[in-house]
Every structure is written in structure tokens, then in C-alpha cells.
Amino acid sequence: MRTVFKTSYDADIDYFRHGMHAFWYLALLLIMIVLPFLMSPFAIGEVTNVLIWSIAGMGIMLLVGQTGQASLGHAAFLAVGCYANVLLQNAGLPFILSFPLAGVIAGLAGVALAIPTTRLHGIYLAIATLAVSILADDLIVVAEPLTGGINGLLAPTIEIFGLPFDRYGTPGRFYWLVLLVTVLVVLAYRNIQRSPLGRSFAAVRDSEISAQAMGVNIARTKAVAFGLSTAITGLAGALMGHFAGIFNNETFTIIISIQLLLMIVIGGLGSIHGAFFGAIIVALLPQTISTLRDGLGDILGTTIRVPGMESAAFGAILILFILFEPMGIYGRWIKIRTYFQLFPFYRKDMFRRQKSYLKTERMR
């Protein structure tokens, strides 16, 4: 087992805990950078999709995992980011300006939603955001002159300093663009976590009452969390629009909202890793299922068609995770890692949850 010898208070909030820690992440980054040279364009497209979902996952993770506010409405902010970016591009703005602006617009929309809803807790917040997601779907159809309604919009090719970035034309370059955004978002997320703001998020998540007693302004903190979370989600939405090429209201339905929330639960709430693990599951599951199905069909000599298989498999995986590993994939990984670090002193109940008993808020 490694013991880290800390010589300053800042060591507690360093990016990396020790040298090897830094080495592994830099090695991962290096592999990700050279990936387009090693993989087929199709596989690169899939990896790009995973990265885009991870950005969206980090967006919602900041709100749900870090601040403890359940949201079933994040597809609405994917939509805001996506439409804002493409509309600004169509208005003649270069991507390098329209993309951050899309994030800012989505963030402002999030703050606007947060102001009336920060008084709500738990399920009531989930319901309010659910309503927002449904409303957004319908509003896109109603605002047809702007959004193209059910016919949708076409995402123009991205051009940065004369270089074209296209999902199909130059998949490698588009992948690097997405990777760059992912790295920047990870850095931003990590810095939020280390800052007083991130600590106030965690305080609000763990106990609103004690956070208030420590001098945290709850309403303001929640509003900031909403804004940052929806801004990141908006950036993911803008990339998603370019990845899909063409999009309409159906691209951002309530199902996507639900999927985003379920994704980070599978991945592991409250960690950046969780967003990535969840994104890998969500983005690659349809592909895996269809590959398995074709393989099975070849063996049996028939074509198997079971509609709705993806969401059912997704649901089943999720049920198993919630029952047997509520901390998600990342939680399982931590347990395995601890087992080897402490070998042979790992105890079974090391990560045992404290049981709690419910009390109602209803008085009648």
C-alpha cells in the first residue's frame, strides 16, 4: 500500500495524488490522441460519440452527483445548446465563437430555470425538470420559423481558421476537436471540485441544513450548479448536433433526459470517471446488442428482430446495478482497487452504507 507523504496543505487539492497517478492519466491522454491513426473511421466515430456523451454526462453529474439535485430535464439543455450553436453559425458567426456562446446561452437558460425551482427538493425537482423536458420538445415544434419544427435543422460544416471539421469528411479531425473539448471540460470540472464552490456543492448535497449553518447560500449555490451543469450540457448538445448532422425535436426527447440520468447512475454518481463509464455503456450498448444479435442469428440461421431490445437491456443492467452495486461501475472499481491495495486486509463491510429510516414531511 502506498502512503502519500504530504508536505503542504495544497497537496490535498492537487490534480494528482502522486507521480504514478499523473503518469497513468497522461498515458491515457496520449493513447486517446494517437487513436485516429490506430482505428478505422467507423470506430473513431463510435469513440467520438462516447466522448460527446461523456461531456453531457459530466454536465448532469455536476448537478446530480456533486450538488445532489435530481434532474430529468437535461435533454432540454442539450437542445438549447445544439440549436443555439447552429443558429448562431447560420447567422454567420464562426464556430469558435458560436460554440462557447451556445454554452453560455444554455447556462443562462439553466439559471433561469433554477431561480423558480431551487425551493423544490428531491422528487418535486425531478418532476419539475421532467415537465421542462416535455415542454422543450413541444416548444421546438411550435417555434418552427426558428427551429425548423419537425423537419429539423442541418448542422453546417465547422470551420476553424480555414480548416474544415466534418464528422464524415474528416472524422479524425472532428474526433480531436471533441477530445480537446472533453479535456477542457474535465479540467474545468476538476477545478470546480477543488474550489470553494465545489465544496459548497458537496455541502448542499450532503445536508442542506448543515450547509446553511456553515454559511453557504443554498439558493445561490443551487442556481450556480444549475448554470454550470446546463452550460456543459449545452456544449455537449452543440457537438451532438454536429455529430448527428441533422436534428429535430425527436433528437432531444424526454427519453434522452432519462437516459442521461440513468447513465451517470450506472457509471457511478459523484465522480468524473462515472460519467465516462456510463457514456461507454450508453453509447456502445446499441452497437453491442446488434452485433450479438447478428452473431446469434448467423448461428441459428435466422434473423432475430426484437424491437425495443436496447432500452430493455439498458433497464435490466440498471436494475442490477442499483440492487447490487449502487455506487456504479466506478464504485466497483474502487472496491477492487482497495482490495489489492490493502491485500490481505480488505474487509467485506468496508464500504457499507449507513442504514437510514424515512420520515415524512407530510403532517396530515
Partner 1 sequence: MDILQLFVSGLANGCVYGLIALGFVLIYKATEAVNFAQGDFMMLGAFITLGLTNDQFWGLPFWISVPIAIASMGAFGYLLDMLVLRRMFGQSQVALIILTIALGFVLRFAAGAIWGHEPISLQSPIAGRDVRFGGLVLGLDEVWVIFVTIFLTVILYFYFNRTRLGVAMQAASQNQLAAYYMGIPVKRVHSLIWALSGMVAAVAGILFASKGSIDPSIGLLGIKAFAAAVIGGFGSLPGALLGGIIVGLIEPFASYYIAAGYSQIMPYLLLFLILVFRPHGILAQVHRKKV
Interacting residue with partner 1 among 131, 284, 289, 334 (CB under 8 A):
131
* DSSP secondary structure of 303-335: ----TTHHHHHHHHHHHHHHHH-TTHHHHHHHH
Task: State yes or no: residue 359 binds partner 1 (CB under 8 A).
Answer: yes
Instruction: Check: CB of residue 204 under 8 Å from CB of residue 216.
Output: yes
Task: State yes or no: residue 9 binds partner 1 (CB under 8 A).
Answer: no
Residue 294 Cβ, how far from partner 1 at the closest point, in Å? 19
Residue 258 Cβ, how far from partner 1 at the closest point, in Å? 6
Residue 128 Cβ, how far from partner 1 at the closest point, in Å? 5
> If you compute the radius of gyration of the chain from its CA atoms, what whole number of angstroms results?
22
Residue 164 phi, psi (nearest 5): -80, 140
Residue 94: is the preceding peptide bond cis (ω within 30°)? no
Instruction: Check: CB of residue 157 under 8 Å from CB of residue 165.
Output: yes
Distances (CA, A) of 242 to 151, 226, 286, 323: 16, 24, 20, 37
Number of residues lying near partner 1 (CB under 8 A):
51
Looking at beta carbons only, is 68 or 241 nearer to partner 1?
68
Residue 362 Cβ, how far from partner 1 at the closest point, in Å? 4
> What is the rounded (10 degree) CA torsion for 269, 272, 278, 283?
150
Amino acid, single-letter form, for residue 35: L
Give the list of residues 6+ apart from residue 250 with CB closer than 8 angstroms, or none: 150
Residue 104 Cβ, how far from partner 1 at the closest point, in Å? 24
Binding span for partner 1 by CB under 8 A among 8-16, 114-122, 173-181, 189-197: 114-122
Interacting residue with partner 1 among 33, 101, 112, 141 (CB under 8 A):
141
Binding span for partner 1 by CB under 8 A among 32-40, 123-131, 160-168, 283-291: 123-131
Looking at beta carbons only, is 115 or 246 nearer to partner 1?
115
Task: State yes or no: residue 254 binds partner 1 (CB under 8 A).
Answer: yes
Give the list of residues 6+ apart from residue 42 with CB closer than 8 angstroms, or none: none
Task: State yes or no: residue 80 binds partner 1 (CB under 8 A).
Answer: no
Task: State yes or no: residue 211 binds partner 1 (CB under 8 A).
Answer: no
Looking at beta carbons only, is 95 or 252 nearer to partner 1?
252
Q: Which of residues 310-339 bind partner 1 (CB under 8 A)?
A: 311-312, 314-316, 318-319, 322-323, 326
* DSSP secondary structure of 105-167: HHHHHHHHHHHHHTT--HHHHHHHHHHHHHHHHHHHHH-HHHH-GGG-EEPPPEEETTEEE-T
Residue 110 Cβ, how far from partner 1 at the closest point, in Å? 15
Looking at beta carbons only, is 51 or 126 nearer to partner 1?
126
Residue 58 Cβ, how far from partner 1 at the closest point, in Å? 19
What is d(CA 173, CA 303) in angstroms, rounded to the nearest whole number?
Answer: 37
Question: What would you measure as the largest C-alpha separation in the chain, in angstroms?
Answer: 67
Task: State yes or no: residue 362 binds partner 1 (CB under 8 A).
Answer: yes
Convert residues 259-298 into a mask of x (bound to partner 1 by CB under 8 A) and - (unbound). Answer: --xx--x---------------------------------
Residue 222 Cβ, how far from partner 1 at the closest point, in Å? 15
Looking at beta carbons only, is 102 or 327 nearer to partner 1?
327
Instruction: Check: CB of residue 266 under 8 Å from CB of residue 317.
Output: yes
Binding span for partner 1 by CB under 8 A among 2-10, 173-181, 193-201, 355-363: 355-363
Angle (deg, nearest 10), helices 328-341 and 272-300: 100
**Which residues sit at the interface with partner 1, rule CB under 8 A?**
70, 116-117, 119-120, 122-124, 126-128, 130-132, 134-135, 138-139, 141-142, 209, 254, 258, 261-262, 265, 306-309, 311-312, 314-316, 318-319, 322-323, 326, 353, 355-364
